Amino acid sequence: AEGGCDDPSPGGTRGGVIRRVVIVGGGTAGWMAAAALARGLGTTHAITLIESASIGTVGVGEATVPPIRDFNRYLRIDEDEFVRATSGSFKLGIEFVGWNGEGSRYFHPFGFLGPDMAGADFHHVWLRHLAEGGDPDIARINPETAAAREGRFARDTRHGPLHHAFHFDAARYATFLRGYAEARGVARIEGEVTAVERDGESGDIAAVRLASGAAVAGDLFVDCSGFRGLLIEGALETGYVDWTCWLPCDRAVALPTARIADPAPFTRSTAREAGWQWRIPLQHRTGNGYVYCSSFLGDDEAASLLAARVDGEPLAEPNRLRFTAGHRRLFWNRNCVAIGLAGGFLEPLESTSIHLIQTAIIRLLALFPGDHVDPRLAERFNREAQAEYEGVRDFVVAHYAVASGIDTPFWRAIGEAPLPESLAERIAVFRATGTVLYERGDLFGPTNWYAILTGQGCAASAYHPLVGALDGKLVRDRIAALEARCAQMIAGLPGHADFIAAHCGA
Ligand code: FAD
């Protein structure tokens, strides 16, 4: 039986040399994987990508987090060229509106509030500043918040860089990466995969068969086929870990609209009666969508509520999507690695899916098999991917867990839902001590947790004793120095639209 002493899966034991990599799917995940594999292995491995225009892509996924800049650096992509090609804009964080009651708003910035002090994370210094009656506005010390509020942007200032990510047009991003990958030898096949052939002896995937009748054989398969998980689930029946109990939103409707103002350098998330609405400003249009829970809102109602709440003329019919929060029981099963929506899904509240694609690809490269798929590589991949998913899940659930939201049945239900144990512990420790429990290497660190927990109304009742032991003047001087630096960084910054026009206008 699978998982028993005699069975080495996940990973399989097929002999031979891993030379032919077949990627099924040409959405964001497929082309990101193709580009990175071409960059790392293009000269030694045959990389093929199969995509189907008639099936199409999910058509959403346009806001990112700062580590995407590392991915661009790995590919040696010029940032201006990338923003121009994708009609992108710059993102300094997320503005949350209405999550803490009608009229409330706060900003979750990229970057940091300040450097550690006395060995304690900086937010403890800020907590002491607040406890002593200081101004609570983080825009005084955080340049990303201050710049976002004023609609300004520059990559670098004379006093340091602004931490940023991007908004981009997902279709143009795939086209851009396709050009990159094909130029580095990736073979693209247009066609629909209709069957998956398994090796009779090992059970590994041997080939995929297309509607045309052609078979595409491979040694390693990367399943980027989207929610359907054609290989990882359709063929290998890997199973799914369902997190609906913690993240009950299971539908979204997306509606792009014409641009009516300069793009803001941030994503906006607005709490709504049965979920939340996103706004993602691009150069040529604005992305909008409503993520909601189908037990509390009908699809037609969601679409008409969204249409009534967007600015600008709709540019397309509403795009309706269904999903289940969670992930495959194994991301890497036998000789198949599932990346992107084929691997799992967490609602885009913190724009993490493309990041999870990126880390999966980098992890695959780091653990790339040599002459056979060693199950220990797969086990390692799965352990790391699962821990990463759980970390992001806790951060996303935290938004709902402490928000007062809106007085509707959805928000009452979510307010009463149990929390993952790991998250319940984090919140309790933060409330009691101000300390954020996190693992080194987590995507979201103390600044992020502080911003979200306090922004959503969860107050810490103490700060770190090491900061309590500091001389009061030292603390005040540190805050004053950060305020001065922040003011210097903001002074003279160009408007976001002006920066785009000067450097990377599409
Ligand atoms: P898809 O885009 O679905 O691509 C699947 C590919 O497989 C397509 O090319 C398709 O043609 C191909 N395919 C499928 N079946 C076959 C077959 N039989 N034969 C051949 N080809 C086949 N992520 C973020 O980081 N930020 C966001 O702001 C964000 N917002 C989102 C909002 C919503 C509502 C949703 C649902 C997701 C969002 N995401 C976001 C996630 C993001 O959209 C995805 O992670 C990303 O687009 C990757 O999708 P994919 O490539 O895995 O799948």
Give the pLDDT confidence of 416-471 residue by residue, as tens digits.
999 999 999 999 999 999 999 998 889 999 999 999 999 999 999 999 999 999 99
What is the whole-number distance in angstroms between the Cα of residue 38 and the centre of ligand 1? 20
Q: Does ligand 1 come within 6 angstroms of the Cβ of 275? A: no
pLDDT at 15 over 70: no
Q: Which atom of ligand 1 is nearest to the CA of 357?
A: 45
Q: Does ligand 1 come within 6 angstroms of the Cβ of 353? A: yes
Confidence of residue 3 (pLDDT cuts 50, 70, 90): very low
Give the pLDDT confidence of 417-427 residue by residue, as tens digits.
999 999 999 99
pLDDT at 4 over 60: no
pLDDT of 114 reads 95
Q: Which atom of ligand 1 is nearest to the CA of 30?
A: 51
Q: Does ligand 1 come within 6 angstroms of the Cβ of 193? A: yes
| Contact criterion met (CB below 8 Å) for 494 and 152 | yes
pLDDT of 7 reads 38
Confidence of residue 287 (pLDDT cuts 50, 70, 90): very high
Dihedral, 36, 38, 43, 46 alpha carbons, nearest 10: 130
pLDDT at 2 over 80: no
What sections of 134-275 are H helices per DSSP? Answer: 143-150, 170-183
Supply the angle between the helices 68-75 and 353-366 in degrees, to the nearest 10. 50
Q: Please report the ipTM that was assigned to this predicted complex.
A: 0.99
Q: Distance between CA atoms of 35 and 186, rounded to whole angstroms?
A: 8
Both tokens of 50, joined, read 């199969």
Give the pLDDT confidence of 343-398 residue by residue, as tens digits.
999 999 999 999 999 999 999 999 999 988 999 999 999 999 999 999 999 999 99
What is the whole-number distance in angstroms between the Cα of residue 27 and the centre of ligand 1? 5
Q: Does ligand 1 come within 6 angstroms of the Cβ of 216? A: no
Q: Which atom of ligand 1 is nearest to the CA of 62?
A: 28
Q: Which of 14, 69, 91, 129 is catalytic?
A: 91
Position 440: which residue type? R
What is the whole-number distance in angstroms between the Cα of residue 57 and the centre of ligand 1? 5
The domains located in the chain, with CATH, are: 20-87+168-243+324-392 (3.50.50.60), 94-161+403-490 (no CATH), 251-322 (no CATH)
Q: Does ligand 1 come within 6 angstroms of the Cβ of 318? A: no
Give the pLDDT confidence of 37-58 residue by residue, as tens digits.
999 999 999 999 999 999 999 9
Indicate if 473 belongs to the active site: no
Q: Distance between CA atoms of 457 and 461, rounded to whole angstroms?
A: 12
Q: What percent of the chain has pLDDT over 70?
A: 97
Position 287: which residue type? G
DSSP structural state of residue 264:
P
Q: Does ligand 1 come within 6 angstroms of the Cβ of 98? A: no
Q: Residue-wise over 307-321: b if at least 16 C-beta within 10 A, else e?
A: eeebeeeeeeebeeb
| Contact criterion met (CB below 8 Å) for 95 and 276 | no
Q: Which atom of ligand 1 is nearest to the CA of 280?
A: 28
Give the pLDDT confidence of 197-229 residue by residue, as tens digits.
999 999 999 999 999 999 999 999 999 999 999
| Contact criterion met (CB below 8 Å) for 283 and 89 | yes
Q: Does ligand 1 come within 6 angstroms of the Cβ of 58? A: yes
- Indicate the top mutation candidate among 28, 247, 277 to test ligand 1's pocket, ranked by most ligand atoms within 8 A of CB: 28
What is the whole-number distance in angstroms between the Cα of residue 28 and the centre of ligand 1? 6
Dihedral, 492, 494, 495, 499 alpha carbons, nearest 10: -170
Q: Distance between CA atoms of 25 and 10, rounded to whole angstroms?
A: 22
* Residues in contact with 301: Cβ distance below 8 Å, sequence separation at least 6, in sequence order: none
240-242 and 275-281 as β-strands: parallel, antiparallel, unpaired? unpaired
Confidence of residue 5 (pLDDT cuts 50, 70, 90): very low
Q: Which atom of ligand 1 is nearest to the CA of 192?
A: 19
What is the whole-number distance in angstroms between the Cα of residue 68 and the centre of ligand 1? 17
What is the whole-number distance in angstroms between the Cα of residue 339 and the centre of ligand 1? 10
Per DSSP, what are the bridge partners of residue 478?
none
Q: Does ligand 1 come within 6 angstroms of the Cβ of 28? A: yes
Q: Does ligand 1 come within 6 angstroms of the Cβ of 338? A: no
